[in-house]
Chains A and B, each alone.
Chain A
Amino acid sequence: MAELLFWPALLAYGEAAVAYLGETRSPGLPGRLATWGVRIGWLLQTALLVLQATRANGFPWSSWAGSLNLFVWLVVSAYLIWGCRDRYRLLGLAVTPLAVALLAVARAGGGTEVGARSDYSTLFLVLHVGLVLAAFAGFTLAAGLAAVYLFQERRLKRHDAGIFRLPAPSLATLDRLAGRTIVISFPALTLGIAVGLVRLREKGGGVDVLMVVTLATWLAYGAYVALRVTRGWQGRRAAYFALASFLLVVIVRLALPATHFA
């Protein structure tokens, strides 16, 4: 059953990624096909997660690959909130290929299978993994917005005559949304890390590299929020900062799984 949900979901996200690419050449129908691809893929992945949740013994996404599966779903969910509007199709070009790649990696690691077992308490994992992943999903989306901002800003600076060929949100909107997404995601990361630290203190155990990089991520986004709120940071500088901070998220999600999930 999981196979019947996974492959169509992957196919739908893949179709959306290709259609978003087509949208850059001929706006219109490809964009609408992409939107439906994302919606259908998200529904299928939601069904897969529900299936995993009902058949699991404990929290179903406690493995690295499982958490990646949940992470993809959270990123696409955040994108779906407003990303399916015409003007945000450029963002889809960043989100859907990422969703395809990460979902494929999640499957290769066994993260899309049913019947997962977990030795940790469900409440701890829901709070710790759920909150950290939700925050990371927000940061991913903010990075996508920042990338689109820099792309659009560059086109404006270079006087690209075809700037209106592919509709995109204004620079002000992209900047505001990226900032808000990070400001909203940051408390989730703070809470998720706090839950992890409380458990570490109660149960004992050493600090691993992943924890250190996660704390560095927290510091980076904390600095972003502080600079934005107190110094009014915005525009290109803020976009570069959001992208640089996102590199830490990539390291935490992809480069250091073994240290924490082993």
Chain B
Amino acid sequence: MKLSLVGISHRHAPVKVRERVAFAPRDAAELARSLAEVGECVCLSTCNRTELYIVGDQGEVRALDALRSHGGDDVAALTYRLADHAATLHLFRVAAGLDSLVPGEGEILGQVRAAYESGAPGPLLSRLFHDALHAGKRARSQTTIGESPASVPSAGAALAQQIFGELEGRRVVVVGAGKVGEVAARNLAARGAEIAAVANRSAEHAEELAQKFGARAVSLESLADELGHADVVVACTSAPGFVVRPDDVRERKARPLFLIDLAVPRDLDPAINDLDDCYLYDIDDLEAVVAESLAGRRREAERAEAIVSEEAERFRAWQASLDVVPTIASLRARAEAIRAAELGKAAGRLTDEERQAVESITAQILNKLLHLPTVRMKEAAAAADGVLYADAVRHLFGLEDER
């Protein structure tokens, strides 16, 4: 069974080409089913890649035709085509996030799982995707590739967790009603924080954003009161000067206050960071954290590559062992047929009890005799000598006709 991969990704194709073959989940499932009519197929389609994993006759040609029919000839020119071990290694790297824009990003693992579950896998692709998911999980659990934040909003949220631990019940005050502040607030809310208030010069915009989070809209004049109850402040207004100064931050009684200033010019007076229990990060600080995190992810990627290679090699060994399976099955069937025939000849001379005993003994002899050749043939298959061994066994036991 030949495994083929035909795909297009952010590495080789710009978005204006990729978007022509970007499939919605239902369409991807439909395409996989149509291509699997004579084999197996899974279609993985994300915003960064569309890949068709296919098993069967002319798999590569059919997959390429499918992409060409959706995206045109220039899509075909930008595709990559891989087979067997190279295709396996590629999928395992994808599942581990090693082929992603941000190394180790976590979303891809779920996307690989969804593609597998909605596709049309058979025995080979089922095993391939199962092992790919395992490799992806292993790479993440045995390295720190996916642990550090990879964007400014997620860096803000991760730093908040570094101060408070779990963010459940932590009160966030958003200063400014723009898109950037909203994204940062959403990141905090996704980790359990409560968006308590939105303060903005325009009451209308404050109300609009507050409604999205079930928060209160307040004016900038009452911001100091809100800060007294806040744990996290996210600021991103277009004000020309500081919106919050040290005097606005009242006695905290050792309650930490984490302030994220995403605005340029800055909204929060940097002197706030000098106050006890106040931690103020501006956009440069956060970008430095992200840059260091990404560098760390790239370092960890080397370790993840080793894990992925090991898993891909294991899959290759399993796949190779499939080559000798028909020979093993034939050998066992031949041995079983001889046993049954000889038992049949002796049946009339044996009592029921004796027959059961002989059946049991001969079955055990057969199993023990064939166990080692079976293991050796599978081992040889993994080491690429499988065909030689299988041919030798077929010749020695006269199994040629059963091929």
Residues of A within 8 A of B (CB): 27-28, 152, 156-157, 159, 161-165, 167-173, 232-238
Contacts and interface: CB of A to CB of B under 8 A. Distances in A.
A173 B277 CA distance: 15
Given A163-B289, A235-B256, A156 B144 contact: no
Interface in B155-204: 158-159, 161-165
A238 B253 CA distance: 12
A28 B303 contact: yes
A4 B202 CA distance: 76
A156 B303 contact: no
A173 B161 CA distance: 10
A39 B142 CA distance: 20
B77 to A, nearest CB: 41
A238 B276 CA distance: 13
Contacts of B336: none
A1 B300 CA distance: 44
Contact of B159 (A28, A156, A162): A156
B390 to A, nearest CB: 41
B254 interface: yes
A237 B254 contact: yes
A120 B131 CA distance: 64
B162 A171 contact: yes
Closest 9 CB pairs of A and B: A170-B165, A161-B288, A164-B148, A235-B254, A161-B292, A159-B285, A172-B165, A234-B254, A173-B165
A238 B277 CA distance: 12
Contact of B162 (A27, A163, A165, A238): A163
A231 to B, nearest CB: 9
A165 B293 CA distance: 7
A165 B254 CA distance: 27
Interface in B214-255: 253-254
Nearest to B277: A235
Interface in B279-327: 279, 281, 285, 288-289, 291-293, 296, 300, 303
30 contacts: A28-B300, A152-B162, A156-B159, A156-B279, A159-B281, A159-B288, A161-B291, A161-B292, A163-B159, A164-B149, A164-B158, A164-B162, A164-B289, A164-B293, A164-B296, A165-B296, A167-B147, A170-B162, A170-B163, A170-B165, A171-B256, A172-B163, A172-B164, A172-B256, A173-B165, A233-B254, A235-B277, A236-B254, A236-B277, A237-B254
Contacts, number: 70
A174 to B, nearest CB: 9
A123 B138 CA distance: 52
A215 B15 CA distance: 73
A28 B163 contact: no
B289 A157 contact: no
Nearest to B160: A170
Contacts of B292: 161-162, 164-165
Q: For the complex, would chain B's binding face be called helix, strand, loop or mixed by DSSP majority?
A: helix
Interface residues of B, number: 30
B151 interface: no
Contacts of B330: none
A157 B164 contact: no
Contacts of B293: 164
B344 to A, nearest CB: 60
A162 B288 CA distance: 9
Contacts of B142: 28
B111 interface: no
Nearest to B158: A164
Contacts of B118: none
Nearest to A158: B273
Given A156-B159, A170-B161, A236-B277, A164 B147 contact: yes
Nearest to B254: A235
B143 interface: yes
B115 to A, nearest CB: 30
A173 B163 CA distance: 9
Nearest to A27: B144
B288 A170 contact: no
A171 B170 CA distance: 14
Contacts of B159: 156, 163
Contacts of B149: 164
A232 B279 contact: no
Contacts of A159: 281, 285, 288-289
Contacts of B288: 159, 161
B302 to A, nearest CB: 11
A92 B8 CA distance: 47
Interface in B112-159: 142-144, 147-149, 158-159
Contacts of B291: 161
A140 to B, nearest CB: 24
Contacts of B300: 28
B144 A161 contact: no
Contacts of B254: 232-238
A28 B161 contact: no
A233 B276 CA distance: 14
Contact of A236 (B144, B163, B253, B276): B276
Nearest to B165: A170
B223 to A, nearest CB: 23
Contacts of A27: 144
B139 to A, nearest CB: 12
Given A156-B162, A162-B292, A165-B296, A28 B279 contact: no
A27 B148 CA distance: 13
Interface in B362-386: none
Given A157-B273, A164-B293, A165-B292, A171 B163 contact: yes
Contacts of A237: 254
